[in-house]
Chain A
């Protein structure tokens, strides 16, 4: 079974600075998908960025980028120019492309606070 580990329960950053959230995972599969989701106090999970394991290039979405290290099974999220609205809980998630492709496996989450 796949597992996802986020080792940072809480992080904080000053507005306009850069922060990196860590995520490691364990799988025996070669093809899979990785995601970062944001959960603000409204509880609604919002997709921030996704990465296909077969792509070597790191995904980027505006101020959000990932550092995907397939051999190390590491998938960190970098937030540049942090904004107050980035304050939320962030979850790393894994999705198989095999027989269990219908479900996401989530890490425990990292609470990010952006200070003015």
Chain B
């Protein structure tokens, strides 16, 4: 596609429910990144993919968080048993490859856990 696309744009969920956030990278981009931006905070790295592999998942905050990427394209970030502290904007980015320095970001998914 023309840019990185994330869905949904906004998501409100009840505490304890599972949520799935989707990211469609720019066509041809082999590297894909997930970041979390909490209110008034900077961006916190979660995980990145090169192809379908995740060389660095060090930023996932707990085992309730997982991510996968299939076909070297779409990625899904899953949060199980959501808690209020999971409320944040989740940003996805992609780049031609992981060593390519310019990453293009999507508009994010705002997750609110009530």
Contact = CB atoms under 8 A, between A and B. Distances in A.
Interface of A: 4, 6, 33, 35, 37, 42-47, 50, 91, 93, 95, 100-109
Contact of B102 (A47, A100, A107): A47
Contacts of A95: 101
Contacts of A43: 89, 91, 107-108, 110
Interface of B: 31, 33, 35, 41-45, 48, 50, 55-56, 59, 89, 91, 93, 98-99, 101-108, 110
A39 to B, nearest CB: 9
Nearest to A37: B105
A18 B56 CA distance: 39
Given A43-B108, A45-B91, A45-B93, A101 B99 contact: yes
Contacts of A106: 35, 42-44
